[in-house]
Chain A
């Protein structure tokens, strides 16, 4: 039996990627901009809170690894972008609350 790959499923998987400094997952932080699924290829467009963040290289690796481990036989492509710039408005209400906003 195969489970259909949906954006919701990918989003749920990405919620397990937590920024170790802030303690909030990348989806609630508003870092994930787009998820495109075509056949067995998943394209993720995301950003980071600050350019020059030392997590730079690793967060994209984690995203790729976690999806590939959870859903076998898929290809994952992660595009890290700085435009549009990340702003605090992109965070979920829960994340804002956690940061005391």
Chain B
């Protein structure tokens, strides 16, 4: 038997750092759903509209990226068995990033205001650069590299690419200079953000977390290895050819590589789920399973964009955006937060009390019935919103978004309960 000597070298960052990112993300999630409800009349037609861009950025930056930052500060040291390079940088980054998100979301919401786009974009780029330095400086010290590390390192590269593209787009909105179409560049920014950053992090982390939560055993990760290669090649290709005219063939080729990579990931996760020992899915895993089904739908939809021209199908990009941001990303994050947040709080408050006094189980730290209500409300809100968007039914859209908003309130109350327990 080989004794594991690395226990003492595994360090988690201080609880307050991760908690700060998580709380900011929960607030953003409620604000995001409120903004959707308030602007139901504006959510129609083309996606390049101030209100829609404002909502997209509170979702991608305020909620999704904020959570990813907090989770990565916690997970990178644990998964890669290395100490976080600097907690001070993580703290500084939080304030710069939060300021950037607030200003950018405000500027899109109040498009006519005098604030420039460039200032928030610079703040966001600075925060993301600090994050990258912190994580890469931690990763350099890793002794045993693993597949999740490859996914996370790739995701950081794509996050920076997204941020730089965002900065160029912001400068272009203040003073036009981009030679290719602004919308074409926006597409690049969105694809890189959705696939390279959000999906890549989710994939890398899920290979670790899902087997841990489901107690899955006896499977190989071969498909996961191919998935990261194909997606990275596909994204590099898409980023490269976007700068040239008449690239239909290459666009289809690289787009297909990304699609095949996503498909391999989904099959890999299906295998892991199938090999699970804990047969009954708890609420966190129910959210996760539904999110992954929706990811399959969005991947298929994305793939079909390569071959069919849907320009006449009204609101299709909006349906796609809602499916990806609310159906996949938010649903998955909410589910994983029902697993991770109780653990973090429990670890912080009760770990030292084990054996001395009675400590709660993780599932006792939140109201499971409320979480179930939230689950069904979120699914029904999503379905109603998509039907309403597809058939341009404004009142139904208000109902759908309101249900999503109520579900986000229940979620935040449940999270508050965990933090206070």
Contacts and interface: CB of A to CB of B under 8 A. Distances in A.
Nearest to A64: B355
Contacts of B81: 52
Interface in A10-41: 16-18, 20-23, 33
A101 B215 CA distance: 12
A81 B78 contact: no
Contacts of A52: 78-79, 81, 208, 212
B70 to A, nearest CB: 14
Contact of A99 (B74, B278, B359, B361): B278
B416 to A, nearest CB: 20
A85 B1 CA distance: 10
Interface residues of B, number: 37
A contact residues, range: 20 to 34
Nearest to B211: A50
B279 A99 contact: yes
A56 B78 contact: yes
Contacts, number: 87
Interface stretch (B53-61, B129-137, B346-354): B346-354
Contacts of A87: 217-218
A22 B215 contact: yes
A49 B86 CA distance: 30
Interface string B54-83: 000000000000000000001000110100
A54 interface: yes
B2 A83 contact: yes
Given A79-B3, A88-B217, A18 B78 contact: no
Nearest to B3: A79
B293 interface: no
B2 A100 contact: no
B303 interface: no
A17 B354 contact: yes
B277 A99 contact: yes
A69 B3 contact: no
Interface of B: 1-4, 7-8, 10, 12, 74, 78-79, 81, 208, 211-213, 215, 217-218, 277-280, 339, 343, 346-347, 350-351, 354-356, 359-363
Interface of A: 16-18, 20-23, 33, 45, 49-50, 52-54, 56-58, 60-62, 65-66, 69, 79-84, 87-88, 99-101
